[in-house]
Amino acid sequence: MSTTNPLLAPIDGLIDYSAIQPSHIEPAIKALIEETRVAVQHSADPALPAQWDAIVDPLEDVSGKLWRAWSVAGHLNAVVNTPELRAAYNACLPLVTEFSTWVGLHTGLYAQYKRLKASEAFATLSSERQRVIELALRDFRLSGVELEGEARARYAEVSDQQAQASQKFSENVLDSVDQWSLYIHDQARLAGLPADVVEAARIAAQEDGKDGWKLVLKMPCYLPVMQHACDASLRQEMYRAYSTIASEQGQPQLDNSALIEQLLGLRAEEAALLGFDSYAALRLETRMAESATQVLEFLRELAAKAKAFAIKDLAVLREFAHQNLGMDELQPWDITFASERMREERYAYSEEEVKQYFTEPQVLKGLFGVIHTLFGVSLRRCDAPVWHEDAQAFEVVTAENTVSGTLYIDLYARQGKQSGAWVDSERTRRLSTHGLQTPVIWLTCNFSRPQSGKPALLTHDDVITLFHETGHALHALLSQVSEPGVSPFAAVEWDAIELPSQFMENFCWEWPVLRGLSAHVDTGEPLPRELFDKLLAARNFHSGMQTLRQVEFALFDMLIHHQSQGLSIQAVLETLTEVRNEVAVLFPPEWHRFPHNFSHLFAGGYGAGYYSYKWAEVLSSDAYAAFEENAQSGPDGLPDLLDAKTGQLFLKEILAIGGARPASESFVAFRGRQPSIDALLRHSGLVTEPSA
């Protein structure tokens, strides 16, 4: 095999993304699978001594190269998707799935890990290596290694079919978004939209060789239309298109209905094969939460605390829309528009005004300053090859001036890029006899592009999203664990993985931080204190409704996966209706097809795990309260929460420790006690009953 294939580059170097072609993917993956298969067979040899250096390390040396190459292929498929790249990725998906299933069912390798656990040498291993072995044994069991005969063969089939269905779900969502557009020829219909959104729409139409303005369903276009377009019929048309993405109401070949049914059926079957009564029960084996019942009780308790606030939120919004906007009835496509008008009036600012102060370069500079103050590391731009001109590469540099990791940031929405924001890893930290392998992390967002020679402008919500994703990135970049098997993304319980990300969001509400993040796009002036005070006053605007929305999604997720068998699409939609009747105050139209675009559940690993956002928010709010308690008085007499001492403790006990111990132990090590929901309720403004 040619060594010129960039996917086969040495794992201790950076990949040349600019050199990767779709034709490189399949040969590299096939070669690496076979190389890793040989390594598995070698490590499974019972003649080997029951020692870490004989069984685990050699396998990690080889398998790390495979999973790095496959991660890169998946990343490119998500951020620069083309028909050729998709075909190459899909050609390899069944090969990788089959191989992963084969490893998980490998009784010989399972026996070796059992030998390691039972050996006298086990007690002499580091706590990290002991945990790697213990987690491996658990994961072998959850991968069906103890199944036999027909059940074993069927488990392998189910695994492959799930991978294929999830990938197709994701493709249908991407294609539905990319293929929908609305050309506007009457500029009056765009009244109310920010000038940069109108200009972006004009350029998009021009690039298609058409006059007028092109509107699309990607967030930098869709959200401003829903917030600002005065034309209710335009909002309605966009709302309906977005609400029916990848459903039976669009192109038949992009309808995710059958895939939802297939995935729920396969997940229930997988759980049954492994001896669990539901997919939720299976997934909770590796979580902080102990049972579906506990999760449901947690969500319903949170809904009960938030509902009175949500009812008040909606009543006030309806009254405002009636009195100020002449809306006798608030339609679903009016909610965001009316909310923005109400927020502008109540707090005397608009998102358009605020985002003039948040230019991408200044926000990144301020963000990097926060990271340096809290955790003692710097991010330095480097000249690494990237997959698209939008992407930037940064080295993570320690106080000793050593490079401890690499962060790639890709911030703008574009054709062929999955919507949303996420973080993933190319490779994780590993310390072995070969030396130190540093982590390489991707941070992806979908913000508006720069225009007219000016830097990109971020809304305050965009800034919060960037801080959130940076928290995930820091979890991997600042890890000090030596073994990939207990790295943060591999071993931290799913319902705790959002702790660092949600924790970082809180700093977006601190005056010293926000002032440092801001520089007006035209004048360079920082955010005025008066405008910050308005932002802060509006922080919990509609917090009740927002909380119930998250609870609604999480309850729906848990209930459709807390079943002994799959559900029809009709039953799925009925479950969603039942959840809304229980906890919601807002009810979309009957034709709304939210599940069909719920990629978190059906293509993003959050199946039976969406509750994690609220569960981890309890942890993150309580963790942030430690910074509030230790805040020092700043130069202006206001509390400065960028406390380096507390930051170093957070680094030591949460970020650096990764998955080397249970997340509950890490939280207690940082906070000195079990988590409390009080800080979450206080931060969300859900502490006292709203006045009538």
Helix (H, G, I), strand (E, B) or coil at 143: coil
Q: Report the C-alpha gap between 443 and 411 in whole angstroms.
A: 8
- DSSP letter for each residue of 639-685: EE---HHHHHHHIIIIITTTTSS-HHHHHHHHHSS---SHHHHHHTT
How far apart (Å, rounded) are the C-alpha atoms in residues 474 and 497? 12
b/e string for 126-141 if b means 16 or more Cβ within 10 A?
Answer: eebbbbbbbbbbebbb
Under DSSP, the state recorded for 457 is B
Residue 675 φ/ψ region, left for φ over 0, alpha for ψ in the -120 to 50 degree band, beta for the rest: beta
Secondary structure class of 538 (helix, strand, coil):
coil
Residue in 281, 277, 279 with CA at minimum distance from that of residue 293: 281
Q: Which position among 469, 483, 505, 653 bears the catalytic label?
A: 469
The answer to whether 44 touches 54, Cβ cutoff 8 Å, is no
Beta-carbon count within 10 A of 353 CB: 12
C-alpha–C-alpha distance, residues 168 and 83, integer Å? 13
Sign of the CA dihedral 149, 29, 405, 425? negative
Residues making up the chain, counted from first to last: 692
Instruction: Determine phi and psi for 44, rounding to 5 degrees.
Output: -85, 0
DSSP letter at 455? P
Specify the DSSP element, H or E, that contains 430: strand 430-432
Residue type present at position 319: E
Which pair of structure tokens corresponds to residue 527?
Answer: 């955010």
> Is 469 a residue of the active site?
yes
Query: 427 in helix, strand or coil?
Result: strand
What Rg value do the Cα atoms of the chain yield, rounded? 25
CB hemisphere CA count around 169 (13 angstroms): 26
Q: Which residues have a catalytic role annotated?
A: 469
